[in-house]
DNA sequence: CCACTTGAGTGGACCGTACCAGTTATCCTG
DNA sequence: CAGGATAACTGGTACGGTCCACTCAAGTGG
């Protein structure tokens, strides 16, 4: 009988324990202990157990079967897009990526950024403004913010290459998840000039928050030339 | 004080009631009744209220603020990457979907369509041209092709509702997977007129092939107004 | 007048219980 | 031995309650 203690909510701890169990011991299709078994084992209520499993089910880690049990999901995530850096994304498409660093500065987090990056308002951030090119021609304009609390001295590094590579190698913080909003908008005169398109030309806008080990480490907004970029995705049921 | 009765679970009914409330009466940023108010009003427990709100929050309809209240989310329509029909997609966020059938005809598959739908070139297809509206205003223009070999007499059915519902109920062919390409392009004069936007305004274009039991059953291209639609997606590792 | 305290109201996290509904293996019965 | 009833599981829905953390505005003291 284990104990769940600490500042973290019990359902989150239990969620982590179960995720760990799946990662280390159980294979796809195997059954996880029943909700009632888990509640006596961890001394929590069934509501707490269900709360933890809810989250894992939504993430596609577990799969409930009414009357039968809860199982490790068979196919890991059908509809996920890759969390790839610009460099990797371009390489995948057979294009040659390059980057022009337009600005790099230390700024203070406003409320929105603080919330997105889970830091205190006013906390130190690195703000990078970059022009991304493929085969030498502009592809995207990108503004990215990174929490310096978790990535000390980021501004002293070489920022013309892949920041993701830096996060992985230098900081041991591999991006492993995230969420992204996507919409389209017409190019403002300023963006049009930078991207070498006509003002008003459609741009694909990605606003992404990337996580590493559950903590936000990047918040970027990217404007892609719609005439040079498109994405493909797989769709899952329901 | 309302009543929630029927075969549907109470939390689902409450979810529908709230989605409806958002759609008909409340605007973005407005506050929804508190959880405690809802429980007395609908005579349900707080757990049930929270269950209902959980779902709406995940869909981006509502937004909770600890200590303050629950609010109608600011964002415009945000779609998750499910394989959902337009009707389901709109209903999920409390918008009222409607469809105007612009054309419905039997056509022969050209090479590209034949390949996409895995039928013989020249094989019979149903071609539907439809205008999709949300709350009475144009949201998307859609051209869809369906293989008549797998869906006999499709053109005799009622095509103003959800085709996905037809596929499921009438043909026992639930869409369960698919692939989709996404890009942006400026509205042509013709599309602009149909969608009631300015010519050149950015549109989000989806080109989707949906499968049922491994066989293609739909190939559609949809042009969405970028000012009314955006999507949200989760990112997995590399 | 401003800063501070305070309290009512909000969502967040739990607990324990009860009953329903679907699944499955076991144990009868024909 | 095959088949059906059954009982012991499983998850699903729902109830009630308790305490905590946070927000915000009204009230208070300097």
Selected residue of B45, B229, B236 to mutate for chain A interface (largest A Cβ count, 10 A):
B236
Which pLDDT score, from 0 to 100, does residue A128 have? 93
Q: Provide, in whole angstroms, the distance separating residue A159's CA from nucleotide C22's C1'.
A: 57
Average pLDDT, chain B: 83
Which pLDDT score, from 0 to 100, does residue B91 have? 66
The distance of B228 to chain A (nearest Cα, Å) reads 9
Tell me the chain B residues in contact with residue A233 when contact means C-beta distances shorter than 8 Å: 81, 179-180, 182, 233
Which pLDDT score, from 0 to 100, does residue A205 have? 92
Beta strands, E only, chain A: 31-32, 62-65, 69-72, 81-82, 97-108, 124-134, 137-147, 177-186, 202-212, 215-225, 231-235
Q: Provide, in whole angstroms, the distance separating residue B46's CA from nucleotide D9's C1'.
A: 29
Higher-scoring residue by pLDDT: A40, A215: A40
Mean pLDDT on B208-224? 86
Given a cut of 90, whether residue A38 has pLDDT beyond it is: yes
pLDDT-derived band at A91 (thresholds 50, 70, 90) equals low
pLDDT-derived band at A78 (thresholds 50, 70, 90) equals very low
Record: contact B234-A176, CB cut-off 8 A: no
pLDDT-derived band at B84 (thresholds 50, 70, 90) equals low
The percentage of residues in chain B with a pLDDT greater than 70, rounded to a whole number, is 89
Q: Is B53 helix (H, G, I), strand (E, B) or coil?
A: helix
Which pLDDT score, from 0 to 100, does residue B25 have? 81
Rounded to two decimals, the ipTM of the complex is 0.54
Which pLDDT score, from 0 to 100, does residue B22 have? 83
Record: contact B231-A47, CB cut-off 8 A: no
**CA A68 – CA A105 distance, rounded (Å):** 56
Give the contacts of B233 (CB within 8 A, at least 6 positions apart): A79, A81, A179, A180, A182, A233, B80, B81
Which pLDDT score, from 0 to 100, does residue A93 have? 67
Which pLDDT score, from 0 to 100, does residue A115 have? 80
A85-99, A194-208, A212-226, B17-31: segment of lowest average pLDDT = A85-99
The Cβ of residue B82 has, within 10 Å, a number of other Cβ atoms equal to 14
pLDDT-derived band at A238 (thresholds 50, 70, 90) equals very low
The distance of B209 to chain A (nearest Cα, Å) reads 10
**How long, in residues, is chain A?**
238
Which pLDDT score, from 0 to 100, does residue B238 have? 43
- Interface residues on B facing A, Cβ-Cβ cutoff 8 A: 47, 58, 76, 78, 81-84, 174-186, 200-204, 208, 210, 226, 229-238
A220 touches strand C (CB under 7 A): no
Mean pLDDT on B199-205? 91
Against a cut of 0.90, is the pTM above it?
Answer: no
Mean pLDDT on B100-109? 91
| Model pLDDT for residues A106-117, shown as the tens digit of each residue | 998 887 888 888
pLDDT-derived band at B140 (thresholds 50, 70, 90) equals very high
Return the residue of A nearest to B177 by Cα. Answer: A236
Which pLDDT score, from 0 to 100, does residue B80 have? 46
Nucleotides of D under 7 A from a protein CB: 9-18, 21-24
A40-49, B44-53, B106-115: segment of lowest average pLDDT = B106-115
Higher-scoring residue by pLDDT: B66, A2: B66
- Interface residues on A facing B, Cβ-Cβ cutoff 8 A: 47, 58, 77-84, 88, 174-186, 200-204, 208, 210, 226, 229-238
Return the residue of B nearest to A199 by Cα. Answer: B200
**CA A59 – CA A61 distance, rounded (Å):** 6
Question: In this structure, what is the dihedral angle of CA atoms B211, B118, B170, B223, given to the nearest 10 degrees?
Answer: 60
**Chain A 37..96 CB hits on strand C (< 7 A):** 43-48, 51, 65-68
A213 touches strand C (CB under 7 A): no
Which tokens in the block code for residue A59? 């993430």
Selected residue of B9, B77, B183 to mutate for chain A interface (largest A Cβ count, 10 A):
B183
Return the residue of A nearest to B203 by Cα. Answer: A184
Mean pLDDT on B187-196? 92
pLDDT-derived band at B156 (thresholds 50, 70, 90) equals confident
**How long, in residues, is chain B?**
238
Given a cut of 50, whether residue B77 has pLDDT beyond it is: no
Q: Which of A27, A105, A142 is nearest to A73 (CA)?
A: A27
B70 touches strand C (CB under 7 A): yes
Higher-scoring residue by pLDDT: B177, B37: B37
Mean pLDDT on B30-50? 93
**CA A234 – CA A236 distance, rounded (Å):** 7
pLDDT-derived band at A77 (thresholds 50, 70, 90) equals very low
Mean pLDDT on A34-61? 89
Given a cut of 70, whether residue A94 has pLDDT beyond it is: no
Given a cut of 70, whether residue A124 has pLDDT beyond it is: yes
| Model pLDDT for residues A187-196, shown as the tens digit of each residue | 999 999 999 9
Given a cut of 60, whether residue A53 has pLDDT beyond it is: yes
Which tokens in the block code for residue B129? 């041209």
């Amino acid at each position: 009988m284990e104990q769940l203690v600490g500042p973290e909510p019990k359902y989150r701890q239990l969620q982590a324990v179960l995720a760990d169990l799946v990662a280390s011991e159980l294979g796809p299709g195997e059954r996880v202990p029943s909700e009632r078994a888990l509640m006596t084992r961890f001394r929590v209520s069934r509501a707490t157990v269900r709360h933890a499993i809810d989250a894992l089910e939504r993430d596609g880690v577990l799969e409930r079967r009414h009357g039968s049990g809860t199982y490790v999901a068979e196919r890991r995530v059908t509809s996920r897009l890759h969390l790839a850096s610009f460099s990797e994304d371009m390489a995948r498409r057979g294009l040659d990526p390059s980057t022009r660093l337009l600005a790099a500065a230390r700024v203070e987090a406003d409320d929105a950024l603080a919330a997105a990056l889970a830091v205190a308002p006013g906390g130190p951030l690195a703000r990078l403004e970059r022009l991304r090119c493929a085969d030498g021609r502009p592809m995207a304009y990108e503004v990215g913010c990174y929490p310096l609390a978790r990535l000390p001295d980021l501004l002293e590094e070489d920022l013309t290459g892949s920041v993701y590579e830096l996060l992985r190698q230098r900081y041991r913080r591999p991006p492993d998840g995230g969420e992204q909003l996507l919409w389209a908008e017409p190019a403002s005169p300023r963006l049009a000039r930078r991207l070498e398109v006509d003002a008003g030309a459609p741009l694909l806008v990605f606003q992404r928050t990337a996580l590493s080990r559950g903590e936000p480490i990047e918040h970027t907004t990217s404007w892609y030339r719609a005439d040079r970029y498109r994405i493909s995705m797989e769709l899952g049921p329901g």
